[in-house]
Amino acid sequence: MGKKDKPKKISAKKEKYLKFRKEKTTTMDWTPPALTDEQVKQKQEDEMKISKFMRFSRNPPPTEVVERKMRSKR
């Protein structure tokens, strides 16, 4: 005697909540809003200011650490 092909029985709970399942897309379609000329110019200026700040504002190490290193080297 072989197995008979019966359709699987879906539980009532699964059937009830099946409508809430949504397929999730894997790719994100996001485009930034178009900027006006003034906004583009402002953005470039802001980026330049930030890059200058990051480039030239290096925090010097605290003097205590430097003194300790100098003592240990002696």
- Domain positions in the chain: 34-74
pLDDT digits (tens, 9 = 90+) for 4-20: 777 888 888 888 888 88
Q: pTM of the predicted model, to two decimals?
A: 0.39
Residue 1 pLDDT greater than 70, yes or no: no
The pair of three-digit structure tokens given for residue 59, joined into one six-digit string: 């925090």
Task: Kindly indicate the confidence band of residue 41, based on its pLDDT and cuts at 50, 70 and 90.
Answer: very high
What's the average model confidence in pLDDT over 14-37?
82
Q: Tell me what pLDDT residue 23 has.
A: 77
Confidence of residue 39 (pLDDT cuts 50, 70, 90): very high
Alpha helices (H) along the chain: 12-17, 37-56, 63-73
- Among residues 52, 2, 61, the alpha carbon closest in space to that of 69 is found at 61
